[in-house]
Structure 1
Amino acid sequence: MTNPIQRSFELAAERCENLTPRVYRRLFREHPEAEAIFRSEGSDLVKGSMLALTIDAILDFAGERSGNFRLIECEVSSHDAYGTPRELFVASFGVIANALRGVLGADWSAEIENAWQELLQKIEGIVAASEA
């Protein structure tokens, strides 16, 4: 059976060909400081690639944990090196959830909401643990 996180992405894929513009519009609206982090040249390719890798890591973290989920922990350090505040790094996962919620509308169930809230708390824990 599909887990609720995976199901949220599946439902969104049926309704939205490309989440990238939705996610980054929301990110820049909710966190305007994030826009300055992205270079202007080739930015769309970078955004799409980053989102694809993030989605793979999220799906693995919420599912099998075959290894891709470790990217989350690795990227904390990488984003530190770029000067990305950890709060923004963590918030970006919530932005993805909110973008999915917007696409799913009434199909965003309590089960999906609870799964995402649990996942976001775990990601926040990973980021906090990497500070130690």
Structure 2
Amino acid sequence: MTASSNPIERSFEIAAECCEDLTPLVYRRLFEAHPEAQTMFRTEGSELVKGSMLALTIGAILDFAGERTGHFRLITSEVSSHDAYGTPRELFVAFFAIIAQTLREVIGADWSDDIDAAWRTLLGDIESLVAAQ
């Protein structure tokens, strides 16, 4: 397999080699940083919801950081639906940073300066996108 030249994609590729499932790591970090988020998930069936939500978010991130074929628009549509759920926008945006922090932890020494710079730019772009909604 050839490594992607896109640093965001590469960060996910490296993480996939090190970790079978990011879901528990991402949500543990989310709930530690934002305990109020835990009450937003129902008790029964929440693991499936969490996994699905993370998978959709990763797909949107990869599209937003890549070709922007349209899947990234999920971010803007989910702003509205999360507004309806009562999710603060700061928490919505924080989820993306939590994913980046989790990846950084998982890939450790393979977290390069170009990956870090790409994530910083991406997180700023996502924050601007959400703020414009």
The two structures share one fold, judged by TM-score above 0.5: yes
Give yes or no for the alignment of 1:7 onto 2:10. yes
Of 48, 58, 74, the residue aligned with 2:61 is: 58
Q: 1:83 corresponds to which letter in structure 2?
A: G
**Which residue of the partner structure matches residue 38 of structure 1?**
41
Give yes or no for the alignment of 1:93 onto 2:90. no
Give yes or no for the alignment of 1:78 onto 2:78. no
Give yes or no for the alignment of 1:69 onto 2:53. no
Q: List alignment gaps of at least 5 residues for structure 2.
A: none
Show CA shifts across 1:69-96 (max 9, x none): 0000000001000000000000000000
Show CA shifts across 1:22-68 (max 9, x none): 00000000111100101111000000000000000000000010010
Runs of 4+ deviating beyond 6 Å:
none
> How far apart, CA to CA, are the structure 1 residues paired with 2:39 and 2:5?
37
SS of 2:74 mapped into structure 1: helix
TM-score by length of 2: 0.97
Q: 2:63 corresponds to which letter in structure 1?
A: D
TM-score by length of 1: 0.97
Q: List alignment gaps of at least 5 residues for structure 1.
A: none
> How far apart, CA to CA, are the structure 2 residues paired with 1:91 and 1:55?
14
Query: What count of residue pairs does the alignment treat as equivalent?
Result: 130
- Report the alpha carbon displacement of residue 2 of structure 1 after superposing the two structures with TM: 2.5
Aligned residues with identical type, % of pairs: 72
SS of 2:106 mapped into structure 1: helix
**Which residue of the partner structure matches residue 125 of structure 1?**
128
> How far apart, CA to CA, are the structure 1 residues paired with 2:17 and 2:99?
16
